[in-house]
Amino acid sequence: MSNILDKIIADKRREVELKKSIVPVSQLENAVLFSRTTTSLAGKLKASKSGIIAEHKRRSPSRAVINQALSVADVAAGYENAGVCGMSVLTDGKYFGGSLDDLLQARAATTLPLLRKEFIMDEYQLLEARAYGADVILLIAAVLTKEEIKFLSGFAKSLGLDVLLEVHNEEELRKSIMPGIDMLGVNNRNLKTFEVSINTSKQLSGIIPDEFVKVSESGISDPATIKDLQQYGYKGFLVGENFMKTEDPGRSAGAFITDILR
């Protein structure tokens, strides 16, 4: 498992080069959704008392199958009815069972801000995100240099996309603080071992400047954890498997949010 991230990135680089050879940039820029007005997830989180970003995820390297039975459109509609702030859509095929079509179907079913959850390393992927209806993109500090983060975040902002920058430790956080970032996400899961600890969010909270919306990611399965993390300044909470492992993710998300607001 320790080398899984390296494998994912190597495969992703090959995948992106292949796509670039098949679908030209002009085709993405001419897509109907490319010019739509995006919705700011950061803005939604700032105004929310629950801050839930609910995820659509079929499977993952750490858990073979989470939920293969549900349609993306049904999950998106359910999440919107539940009152979540935004929806995260996995678009990686090989390791997570997702696709850009999932993003498209979610966009057709909801007005929620959509996060393209992907291993992004090329501006081409940002154009794809825009063309398929995303409002937000994820940048992972563990796989990008400071210069790449600066370039990709700036390019995303030029496309009208919010940027969620994900870090796992203080070193990654320090190299990631720059103007093009809207939200700083602390991933409680170690990407090399897949072990999870909520203490990661607590430890890094004091180092994140106030101008960034703080988001805690992974391992969140209890409303009490969210109430605890809110005391550390977190406004956003990415919840995936906890909802997706149920038969009705939307209903699960609704009950979860009700508990937070009690």
Q: State yes or no: is 20 an active-site residue.
A: no
Nearest-angstrom CA–CA distance, 217 and 139: 13
The helix/strand/coil state of 110 is: coil
Backbone region of residue 140 per phi and psi (left: phi > 0; alpha: psi in -120 to 50; beta: other values): beta
74 by Cβ neighbours in 10 Å (0-12 / 13-18 / 19+) ranks as middle
Instruction: Assign residue 130 a region (left: φ > 0; alpha: ψ between -120 and 50; beta: otherwise).
Output: alpha
- Dist CA 73 CA 101 (whole Å): 11
Residue 195 catalytic?
no
Does the active-site annotation cover 157? no
DSSP 32-51: GGGGSPP--HHHHHHT-SS-
Which of 217, 235, 241, 252 is catalytic? The answer is 217
Cα(195)–Cα(144) distance, integer angstroms: 21
The single residue of 44, 218, 235, 252 carrying the catalytic annotation is: 218
Look up 57 and say whether it is catalytic.
yes
**Residue 172: what residue type?**
E
Q: Which of the residues 40, 48, 50, 55 is marked catalytic?
A: 55
Task: Look at the block and give the residue holding tokens 């050879």.
Answer: 21
Q: Residues 187, 188, 216, 252: which is the catalytic one? A: 187
Active-site hit among 57, 67, 118, 201: 57
Helix axes 72-82 and 100-109, enclosed angle (nearest 10):
50
**Nearest one of 110, 77, 72, 108 to 91, comparing CA atoms:** 72
172 is a catalytic site residue: no
Active-site residue among 50, 67, 88, 117?
117
117 is a catalytic site residue: yes
Active site includes 48? Answer: no
Q: Which one of 166, 176, 201, 241 is the catalytic residue? A: 166
Active site residues: 55, 57, 117, 166, 187, 217-218
